[in-house]
Amino acid sequence: MKRILLFLMTLNLLQSCYVPVKRDYQGLSSALVFTQNKKFLINNLYLDLDSSEREKLNKKVLRTFETLSKGNAVFVDQAKSDNLLPSKISFIPDLEQLQNLKINSDFDYLVNIRTVKVSDQISAVELSQPLEYSKNEAFALLEIYDLKTLNKIYSQKASSEVSIDGKSYNTGYYGENNTVNADRNKEKGPHFNYSARSLAVRNLNKILKDIEQKAIK
């Protein structure tokens, strides 16, 4: 009996926590080219997360790009010692900023990353369905600019959400050619959910994994 109960709790946990990710490449190529010793300048990450999460993601982003570029990737703070870089590079750099980076550094690409918690209304564990509609939603966005041509060459936005209303429990999002909806009207709980912070981190990790899988070397 205990084994059956444990199995059902585990199954409920897995089902409740499954959240598809919607990807948007904004019409650009979904694959990045890592060849010819091209150098990547990684801007300070624009993350609405706590310091521990920021540190973990900083390390993962750097490790990902260092591995794919064979060591030709650095964060902007480290690069300032050898290049005339501005004190801050905006997430959406204008033409003047890109030109300054082109002239005053030897990097080929600028990498910009941000996460945004759109809505954070549901706790990690809901013992029952709430009376009002609630939603956790977040996205991550990674964009890369070619500092030789001054054009954006890569963009990927990964979004996901979980939502609960008084009648149904939905862990669906319009993903790539599919929609997943889970109607749990008959369930009393508990429901396990991703927080907006967890969704933001998960979305960025999904982007990094996608870049690794589709990288052209």
Tell me the per-residue pLDDT of 53-76, one tens digit each, with 9 for 90 and over: 989 999 999 999 999 999 999 999
Tokens 């008959």 found at:
186
In a domain, 92, yes or no: yes
Q: How many domains does the chain have?
A: 1
For residues 212 and 217, give the distance between their C-alpha atoms in angstroms, rounded to a whole number: 10
Compute the 3-state secondary structure of the chain and give helix, strand, coil in percent, each to the nearest 5.
Answer: 30, 30, 40
pLDDT at 123: 76
Is 2 a member of any domain? no
CA distance 28 to 206: 18
Is residue 72 domain-resident?
yes
Q: Give me the residues paired with residue 174 across strands.
A: 179
Confidence (pLDDT) at 128: 62
**Residues 6 or more apart whose Cβ sits within 8 Å of residue 185:** 167, 168
pLDDT in tens, 106-152: 999 999 999 999 998 887 666 666 657 788 999 999 999 999 999 99
Residue 12 included in any domain? no
Name the E strands within the chain: 22-24, 40-42, 46-47, 73-75, 109-120, 125-126, 134-146, 151-164, 169-170, 191-192
Provide Rg for the chain, Cα atoms. Answer: 20
Show the tokens assigned to 181: 């909806």
Residue 101 phi/psi, 5° resolution? -65, -40
User: For residue 78, is it within any domain?
Assistant: yes
CA distance linking residue 155 with residue 28, whole number of Å: 7
Q: Can you give the residue range of the structural domain that contains 23?
A: 19-214
Instruction: Work out the mean pLDDT of the chain and round it to a whole number.
Output: 82
Identify whether 131 is part of a domain: yes
Q: What are 18's two structure tokens?
A: 């499954």
Classified as helix, coil or strand, 102 is helix
Query: 154-178: per-residue pLDDT in tens?
Result: 999 999 998 877 554 454 443 443 3
